[in-house]
Amino acid sequence: MDGSDETRQLLREIRDAQRELLAEYRRVAERSLEWQQRAVARQEQIGHFSRRLVFTGGTLVVILMMLLVYLVARWWRYLFGI
């Protein structure tokens, strides 16, 4: 019976090790999921910021182009001597 007790003890140790491994896997999987959720939220924030930045930059470029056209039209005679 000594071999049978050793076998049972070994099986218990294997079972306990598998439970610990499964618990660690779950912790790692939860942490990974949390990091992915944070990354998605960060990407959404960056997307909103970049859209605002492009809109603001585009608006500024249009305004500056209109100012340039106005100034060239206003000072055409002095710039080109016509």
**Helix or strand run (H / E) with residue 54:** helix 2-74
What is the percentage of the chain residues whose pLDDT exceeds 70? 98
Q: How do residues 13-34 score in pLDDT, each as one tens digit?
A: 999 999 999 999 999 999 999 9
Instruction: Supply the pLDDT for residue 23.
Output: 97
Q: How many structural domains does the chain have?
A: 1
Q: 82 by DSSP, 3-state: which? A: coil
- pTM of the full structure: 0.59
DSSP code of residue 81: -
Quote the domain boundaries for residue 37. 2-80
User: 82 with 76: CB under 8 angstroms?
Assistant: yes
| Residue 1 Cα distances to 7, 8, 14, 26, 40, angstroms | 10, 11, 20, 37, 58
